[in-house]
């Protein structure tokens, strides 16, 4: 009986601990479970107006000896591989997935906002075209947190690596129906990015507040079907794939990991997945 009670109490405690809200922080220290030195996990936002690394982030970069981003942005073959992976498979084109009326609307929108026509990008994955609008969503000169992290790592003569390849990342958008991607592109064009800008503004505010759980909530509430209906493909599956890499690399040497902040929180986020593996993952404030 005592053993049964002990097991039940342990299960309850485990459930409570797992269900606890994560603190507001973008920087997390990974230690324990046999690691000789701690590594650090940092939530980035791929496009921002300003970049400011506080003392904790600078210290974490100083204490680690290599940088891991989602992909190796220092790879000389990156651009060529990216160009190959941007194309839709099986000869599918964007114009074949929309009506003539919608094609005219999208074509006009593209010409006005990114100075290209549908014809020029007809074979591109629609999501890749949508990414071209990010500077317009910011409404300021775009800066890259990842590029700034790379700059610091290079100054420290440290190597830059990727948790996945650019091919892995681009293949994600073959798993999301092209038709759905096109529908979202049409919505953006018809709305002239009004809703996209509103959602992006909220996301920036939540990021600046370091509210990583709030970022998950915003993605769940989004009107964009790609964010809401394909969460496993975009986040959870990739998070799970990253864990063995993080474990192996962190045992070899202290590492600074910079990944999109949306990957950190949630039951299937990187933080809780590492905790389930036995690591201590704690907010650095």
Q: Is the pLDDT of residue 14 over 70?
A: no
Distance CA 108, CA 115 (A): 9
Cβ neighbours around 46 below 10 Å, total: 14
Query: Model confidence over 241-271: pLDDT tens digits?
Result: 999 999 999 999 999 999 999 999 999 999 9
Q: State pLDDT tens for residues 65-77.
A: 999 999 999 888 9
Q: How many angstroms separate the CA atoms of 198 and 69, rounded?
A: 28
Distance CA(276)–CA(67), nearest Å, equals 24
- Model confidence at 20, pLDDT cuts 50, 70, 90, reads low
**Mean pLDDT of the chain, nearest integer:** 91
- pTM score above 0.75: yes
Alpha carbons 145 and 45: distance in angstroms, whole number: 7
Strand positions, DSSP E, 157-204: 159-162
Distances (CA, A) of 8 to 12, 13, 104: 6, 9, 62
């Amino acid at each position: 009986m005592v053993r049964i009670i002990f097991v039940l109490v342990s299960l309850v405690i485990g459930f409570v601990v797992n269900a606890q809200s994560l603190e507001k922080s973008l920087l997390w220290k990974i230690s324990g479970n046999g690691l000789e030195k701690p590594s650090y996990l940092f939530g980035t936002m791929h496009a921002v107006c300003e970049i400011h690394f506080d003392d904790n982030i600078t210290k974490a970069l100083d204490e680690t000896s290599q940088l891991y981003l989602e992909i190796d942005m220092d790879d000389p073959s990156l651009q060529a591989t990216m160009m190959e992976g941007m194309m839709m498979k099986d000869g599918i084109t964007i114009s074949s997935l929309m009506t003539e009326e919608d094609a005219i609307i999208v074509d006009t929108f593209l010409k006005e906002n990114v100075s290209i026509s549908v014809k020029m990008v007809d074979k591109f994955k629609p999501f890749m075209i949508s990414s071209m609008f990010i500077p317009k969503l910011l409404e300021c000169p775009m800066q890259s947190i990842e590029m700034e992290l790379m700059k610091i790592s290079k100054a420290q003569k440290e190597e830059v690596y990727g948790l996945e390849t650019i091919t892995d990342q681009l293949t994600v958008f073959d798993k999301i129906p092209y038709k759905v991607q096109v529908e979202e592109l049409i919505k953006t064009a018809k709305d002239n990015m009004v809703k996209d800008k509103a959602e992006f503004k909220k996301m920036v505010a939540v990021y600046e507040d370091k509210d990583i759980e709030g970022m998950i909530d915003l993605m769940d509430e989004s009107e964009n079907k790609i964010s809401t209906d394909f969460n496993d493909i975009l986040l959870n599956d990739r998070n799970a794939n990253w864990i063995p890499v993080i474990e192996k690399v962190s045992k070899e040497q202290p590492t600074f990991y910079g990944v999109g902040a949306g990957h950190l929180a949630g039951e299937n986020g990187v933080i809780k997945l590492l905790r389930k593996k036995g690591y201590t993952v704690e907010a650095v404030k």
